[in-house]
Chain A
Amino acid sequence: MFHKGVDLVRAGFEGVMGLACAYLVTFKHLFRKPITEQYPEYKRPLPTRSRARIILTRDPDGDERCVACYLCSAVCPVSCISMESAERGDGRRYARWFRINFARCIYCGFCEEACPTLAIQLTPDYEFCKRDMLSFVYEKEDLLVDHGGKDVEYNFYEHAGVVVKGDKGTHIEEAEPVNVKSNMP
């Protein structure tokens, strides 16, 4: 009987302390600075690999990288990319027109992964909402930029796409040919 009484008092005490501790925790929160980041006043810097608006980049030499190979258009899950290829006077392919419909784009980054020349890239710029639906269709002059985007040094035509000019073993990242007639390994 006495034990039951003590248990009851103990249970009551623990109950009250449980509630009181809960109230204390929320009360302490009143004096903490809120952890919210207030958006337009503070914009969190995003990592460079964040996938938002698409750009078309240029070579280190200043030529546009896009060769209109249609790979990005083929891999796009929502078919928002369209283009037409053409050939310049010096034999280099380029896109006569290049159109991305940003209202359909899901910013998945598949086109960036598919592009062999690293022309099409996604940037962290997400603040381009507009009121008119049709003004979301970006043409090539809206997409082409003057810099190399995320990879400034890569030039596709040093690696592929043109006739090799030197001997074997002189191309970029190519190993020397092995002499099969010598004894050295």
Chain B
Amino acid sequence: MWFLGFILLLAKIGVVLGALLGLAAYLILVERKLLGRFQIRFGPNRAGPFGIWQPIADGIKMILKEDIIPADVDRTIFKYSPAVVATVAILIVAVIPFSSDVVLRGYDIPMVFSDLNVGLLYVLALSSLSVYGVALGGWASNSKYSLLGGIRGAAQMISYELPLGLSLVPVVMLAGSFSLVDIVNAQDKYPFVLVQPVAFLIFILSSIAEAKRLPFDLPEAENELNAGYHTEFSGMRFALYFIGEYVHMIVLGALVAVFFLGGWRGPLLPPVIWLLLKTFMVPFFLIWTRATLPRLRYDQLMHFGWKLLIPVALINIVVTGGVVLWIRS
């Protein structure tokens, strides 16, 4: 019966992966409709009632498109760099706790794929890996504009990983552990956003920059301005970049929920529903931001990351450390 645990793991993976990919595809539709409503227009509403078949129609269109690989690209890297982006975003879900332990027939089933005791480091490491997708995509395309877009994107993502990590250090200090399950369990009295508002803000801003959304949208906006790191990708490769980006948005929401908003904790509703509610506040905020704010120029972006967020995060760490020591003495 040793394999029952394995089968259970496969079942959990199947459910969550299916739900995640479905949610990512429909997040695209939700984004288009919400953007439309923010701009006093309808979003897509022709493909089905309220446009619900639109993601499926887009998927079919992407699959049927001609897969163009330009002549002088680095073929291996070109083929695999979209996969890096999507894979890394999906892998972060492995450490997110979905619910308190469910008891089934006397056995405790943990509602998390892998309760790593360094879960937070795993998350940060994966978001560092996602830089590869951008940089490799830009490099492999063998085009000047793609290269510039890839370089800028990689520089932006690397710069904003520092405030991302630094803003999570107070969370670790308060929870006493790197494991995400322990962090959620440490928020049983109050969510960490109440005691760490600065860290919450810095984390949200850095994650917007990591996700390459407006106003930190230069690697992609170069699509509109000149080119961008994913110009030369067509059809399903481009769809993979796109899905990877939207999975990244959802996963960011889940991370914000776990680190600052109390994870699956909440009074009345089932824990998974609370996690979903808290998770989808962040994509809503990201879409709202996209509808509202203009884009930051590249030097403004770098200035903001290095000269503003990092010092504030460091001061926050020092102050939190001091207060924690003072309380515990």
Residues of A within 8 A of B (CB): 19, 22-23, 25-27, 29-30, 32, 34-36, 38
Asked whether any CB of chain A lies closer than 8 Å to the CB of B37, the reply is: yes
Given contacts A23-B292, A30-B37, A34-B42, 7 further A-B contacts (CB under 8 A): A23-B288, A23-B289, A25-B292, A26-B291, A27-B38, A29-B37, A29-B38
Q: Contacts of A23 on B, CB cut-off 8 Å?
A: 288-289, 292
B36 contacts chain A at the CB level, 8 A cutoff: yes
Q: Is the CB of B39 within 8 A of A29?
A: yes
Instruction: Evaluate contact between A22 and B293: CB separation under 8 angstroms.
Output: yes
Complex formed: what's the CA distance from A62 to B292 in Å?
A: 61
A23-B288, A26-B288, A27-B288 as given contacts; A32 in contact with B293, CB under 8 Å: no
> Given A19, A27, A35, which contacts B40 in the complex, CB threshold below 8 Å?
A35
- Complex CA distance for A19 and B291, rounded to whole angstroms: 12
Contacts of A30 in B (CB 8 A): 37-38
Q: Does B189 contact A (CB under 8 A)?
A: no
Residues of A within 8 A of B307 (CB): none
Choice from B40, B289, B293 contacting A34 with Cβ under 8 Å: B40
The distance in angstroms between the C-alpha atoms of A44 and B263, with both chains bound, is 51
B41 contacts A by Cβ under 8 Å:
yes
Q: Which of B1-60 contact A (CB under 8 A)?
A: 36-42, 45
Tell me if B42 and A19 are in contact (CB < 8 A). no
B294 to chain A, nearest CB (A): 9
**B36 lies within 8 A of A34 (CB):** yes
CA distance A35 to B289 in the complex (A): 22
Assess whether A26 is in contact with B292, with CB atoms less than 8 Å apart: yes
Q: How far is the CA of A23 from the CA of B288 in the complex (A)?
A: 7
Asked if A22 and B292 sit within 8 Å, CB to CB, the answer is yes
With both chains docked as a complex, state the minimum distance between the C-beta of A38 and any C-beta of chain B, in angstroms. Answer: 7
The docked-state distance in angstroms from the alpha carbon of A35 to that of B37 is 10
A19-B293, A22-B293 known; A29 vs B288 contact (CB < 8 Å): no
Type the 1/0 row for B279-317, where 1 means its CB is closer than 8 Å to any CB of A. 000000000110111000000000000000000000000
- 27 A-B pairs with CB atoms under 8 Å apart are A19-B293, A22-B292, A23-B292, A25-B292, A26-B38, A26-B288, A26-B291, A26-B292, A27-B38, A27-B288, A29-B37, A29-B38, A29-B39, A29-B40, A30-B37, A30-B38, A32-B40, A34-B36, A34-B37, A34-B40, A34-B41, A34-B42, A35-B40, A35-B41, A36-B42, A38-B42, A38-B45
Closest residue of chain B to A25 (Cβ to Cβ) is B292
> A36–B41 contact, CB under 8 A?
yes
Residues on the A chain within 8 Å of B289, using CB = 23
**A30 vs B30: C-alpha distance in the bound complex, in angstroms?**
13
The smallest beta-carbon distance between B293 and chain A, in angstroms, is 7
A118 vs chain B, min Cβ distance (A):
41
Q: A165 to B64, alpha carbons, bound, how many Å?
A: 74
- Among residues of A, the one whose C-beta sits closest to the C-beta of B293 is A22
Determine how close the nearest CB of chain A comes to the CB of B307; give it in whole angstroms: 15
B289 and chain A: residue at smallest CB distance: A23
Q: How far is the CA of A38 from the CA of B37 in the complex (A)?
A: 14
Q: Once the chains are docked, how many angstroms separate the CA of A29 from the CA of B37?
A: 7
